[in-house]
Amino acid sequence: MKLYEQLLQEEYVNNIYSSIENNPRIPISHGIHHILNVVKYCKRLSEIFNLDGKEKETLLVSAVMHDVAQVFLQPNHAKNGAFIVKEMLEKNETIDPEYIKKCVDIDRVCKIIECHGGKNEEENEDKLSCLLI
C-alpha cells in the first residue's frame, strides 16, 4: 500500500477531515470528499507529467495532507498546515517515520503544502506545488 493510501486510512487524518467537513463555519467543504477529489486529480496529473515514484508519492501525500489546518479555522491554513504535517510525518505513531522518509521528501511535502494557495509568484516555482494548486 502506498504511503498516501495509508495516511488516508489513519484515524487521526480521518478525524481531522470529518471535523472540517461537519463544521458549518468553514464555507467551502475541505473535508474528505474534497481531499479525495484533489488526490484523484493529482494522480491524473502525475500520469500526464510522467512523475517518477518518489515525486508522485510526494505529490499525493501533499494532496492528502494539504488542508489539515483548516480544522483550526486559521487565516493562514497553508503555512500552519505545513508545520502540522511536518510533525505528523516525522513523529508518526502508526507508520514508521523511517518508511515515510524513504517514500517522500518531508521538507518538500511541507513546502508544497505551504505554497498551495498559489497567491505568490514564488509559490509557483516548484513543479509539484503547481500541480497541487
Give the span between the Cα atoms of 100 and 78, in whole angstroms: 21
Give the model's pLDDT for residue 92: 93
Confidence bin at 22 (pLDDT 50/70/90): confident
Give the span between the Cα atoms of 106 and 109, in whole angstroms: 5
The pair phi, psi for residue 38, each rounded to 5°, is -65, -45
pLDDT digits (tens, 9 = 90+) for 65-81: 999 888 777 678 888 88
Question: What residue type is assigned to position 23 of the chain?
Answer: N
User: What is the overall mean pLDDT for the chain?
Assistant: 89
Give the model's pLDDT for residue 123: 61
Confidence bin at 40 (pLDDT 50/70/90): very high
* Cα separation values, 11 from 27, 75, 111, Å: 24, 25, 24
Give the span between the Cα atoms of 4 and 79, in whole angstroms: 20
Give the model's pLDDT for residue 84: 92
Whether 90 has a pLDDT exceeding 80, the answer reads yes
Question: What does the pLDDT average to over 109-129?
Answer: 80
Question: What does the pLDDT average to over 35-57?
Answer: 96
Residue with C-alpha cell 518538500?
108
